[in-house]
A = this chain, B = another copy of it.
Amino acid sequence: MENPLKIGIAGVGTVGASLVNVLNNKQNALANRCGRRIDVAAFSARSRDKDRGCDLTGAEFFDDPVKLAQSGIDVFVELIGGEDGAALESVRAALKSGKHVVTANKALLARHGVELAALAEENGLILNFEAAVAGGIPIIKTMREALSANDITRVYGILNGTCNYMLTRMENEGISFEDCLADAQRLGYAEADPTFDIGGFDTAHKLAILTSIAFGSQIAADEIYVEGISNITNADIEAAHELGYRIKLLGVCQKTASGIEQRVHPTMVPLESEIAQIGGVTNAVALEADIVGELVLSGPGAGGMATASAVAGDICDIAKSRPGRQIAPALGRPAAELEPYRKARMRTHEGGYFIRFTVRDKTGVFASIATRMAEHDISLDSIVQHAPARPVEDGEAKTIILITDETTESAVRAAIEAIEGDGHLIARPQMIRIEL
């Protein structure tokens, strides 16, 4: 058997401790599967002696992750987090000093992925990051390796467990967004500052990475249309259900005639679709490709163990690889050949729309709305008017829900603006895109 693969772990929090436990507990099985032992040779962390619930006896301690990256290890595992600072510096240092890198850091890759991929290539090193997107789901490996011969045309997924947990509970228990968030924070499913998750930004980071691998384009995390879930009400969720849909926060990238769409927004998906069955903190990614057709992968998107599973899988792939002249490129194509990102404008997006109006009930209001839609060439698939059980008084609030046939974002926005100008609405209209 060959020499052990010496790994250095930078950052030993929940994921790092889970990883150390997995590598320790399964040392023999891993050696058997990989053809060589995997040893945790060194680690870095803020403090040396904190009890982390894992055994690091015999592993050399570094207080500086850059020094760890430059030490006598074979693989640098970056679990520090953050898009710049120590994570970026230490990963650069590792690649410059001949160490393969495994990272779970989506922010780092969304910002510096192309630079780091190029650095890995120049030095003939592996840069693996399965855990950075959708946790334990092997979506990077699937896109980068299994679908090598495919041209991917669309990827969409539930990439944030916090949002999906909240939408699931709001639907199942009928509780409000605010109550649900407070509860999720109490249970540890949402951060004290939940903006990053519920605002859609976490999903956007992950989407940026998937887009680059899917389309062979440079990573463009700042070019993503992002809309979070904080405007979603129980009324939307119920109306969606009644019309055969469920609301999910999706990250979507797709190729269109005018460029690449990257968008994160609450989305209506058909109730009977696979993606609609993904409840709680589970993640799922669906992708469409020219040869294979459609694949859907689902599983745990976060958590120490699921993330450690992906990181350990990446390490095992390195352990199984052998010294050679060339390494498969980190983003699926050589970094130099990634195409410049060509953004499709959101206004050109085509799809169906769910629109909910709250109106003062008067004769002619519905006709006026229908006319505005027609003026913008929008045809309607379904119309639901919620009339109270008792006789409606003139001027009372009433809900009108429209499901449009396929149309464009610009037409929908213009129609809604015109309807708002007509003065019948007594609340801001709600607009949710439909994805099939």
- A305 part of interface (Cβ distance < 8 Å): yes
| CB-contacts of A142-184 with B (<8 A) | 142, 145-151
Give the residues in chain B near A300, CB-CB below 8 Å. Answer: 292-294
Most buried by B among A22, A151, A298: A298
Interface size on A, residues (CB 8 A): 62
- In the complex the two chains form, is B337's CB within 8 Å of A32's CB? yes
**Given known A-B contacts A149-B313, A149-B316, A334-B32, A325 and B322 have beta carbons under 8 A apart:** yes
User: What is the CA–CA distance of A138 and B294 in the complex, to the nearest angstrom?
Assistant: 12
Asked if A137 meets B30 with Cβ closer than 8 Å, knowing A273-B277, A310-B146, the reply is no
Cβ A291 vs Cβ B316 within 8 A: no
CA separation between A58 and B322, bound complex, in Å?
A: 33
Q: Is A29 in the interface zone, CB < 8 Å from B?
A: yes
Copies of this protein, total: 2
Known: A33-B333, A142-B141. A305 touches B292 (CB 8 A): yes
Closest partner residue, chain B, to A29 (CB atom)? B151
In chain A, positions 285-319 with a C-beta closer than 8 Å to chain B are: 289, 291-300, 305-306, 308-310, 312-313, 315-317
Q: Is the interface of A mostly helix, strand, loop or mixed?
A: mixed
Given contacts A274-B298, A277-B272, contact A309 B326 (CB under 8 A): no
Q: Is A362 an interface residue (CB 8 A)?
A: no
Q: Does A324 contact B (CB under 8 A)?
A: yes
Q: Which residues of B contact A306 (CB under 8 A)?
A: 291-293
With an 8 A cutoff between CB atoms, is A278 at the interface? Answer: yes
Q: CA separation between A200 and B359, bound complex, in Å?
A: 58
Shortest Cβ distance from A136 into B: residue? B292
Contacting residue for A297 out of B295, B310, B313, B324, CB 8 A: B295
A294's nearest neighbour on chain B, judged by CB, is: B299
- Is A35 among interface residues, defined by CB-CB distance under 8 A? yes
Distance, CA A390 to CA B320, complexed state (A): 70
Residue ID in chain B nearest A305 by CB atoms: B291
Least CB separation from A140: chain B residue? B146
Chain B hits for A320, CB < 8 A: 145, 328
Contact B274 A309 (CB under 8 A): no
Contact between B30 and A149 (Cβ–Cβ < 8 Å)?
yes
Cβ of A344 under 8 Å from chain B: no
A228 at the interface (CB under 8 A from B): no
* Residues of chain A in range 110-145 having any CB-CB distance to chain B below 8 Å: 130, 136-138, 141-142, 145
Chain A 322-344 near chain B by CB (<8 Å), digits 1 or 0: 11111011001110010000000
Nearest CB of B to A154, in Å: 14
Q: Report how far A300 CA is from B337 CA in the complex, Å.
A: 31
Known: A30-B148, A145-B316, A320-B328. A298 touches B296 (CB 8 A): yes
- Partner of A324 from the list B291, B317, B322, B328 (CB cut-off 8 Å) is B322
Chain B CB within 8 A of A186 CB = no
Chain B residue with Cβ nearest A22: B149
Q: Is A365 an interface residue (CB 8 A)?
A: no
Q: Does A394 make an interface contact (CB < 8 A)?
A: no
Nearest-CB residue, chain B, relative to A36: B326
Is A67 located at the chain interface by the 8 A CB criterion?
Answer: no
> Do A333 and B146 touch (CB < 8 A)?
no
Does A34 make an interface contact (CB < 8 A)?
yes
Known contacts A22-B149, A141-B142, A295-B298, A326 near B333 by CB under 8 Å: no
Residues of B within 8 A of A413 (CB): none
Known contacts A145-B313, A149-B316; is A295 also within 8 Å of B325 by CB?
no
Q: Contact check, B324 vs A149: say whether CB atoms are below 8 A apart.
A: no
Contacts of A328 in B (CB 8 A): 33-35, 320
B278 touches A137 (CB 8 A): no
Q: How far is the CA of A370 from the CA of B312 in the complex (A)?
A: 51
A to B CB contacts below 8 Å, 11 in the list: A22-B291, A30-B148, A33-B148, A33-B329, A33-B333, A35-B328, A148-B317, A149-B316, A291-B309, A294-B300, A295-B297
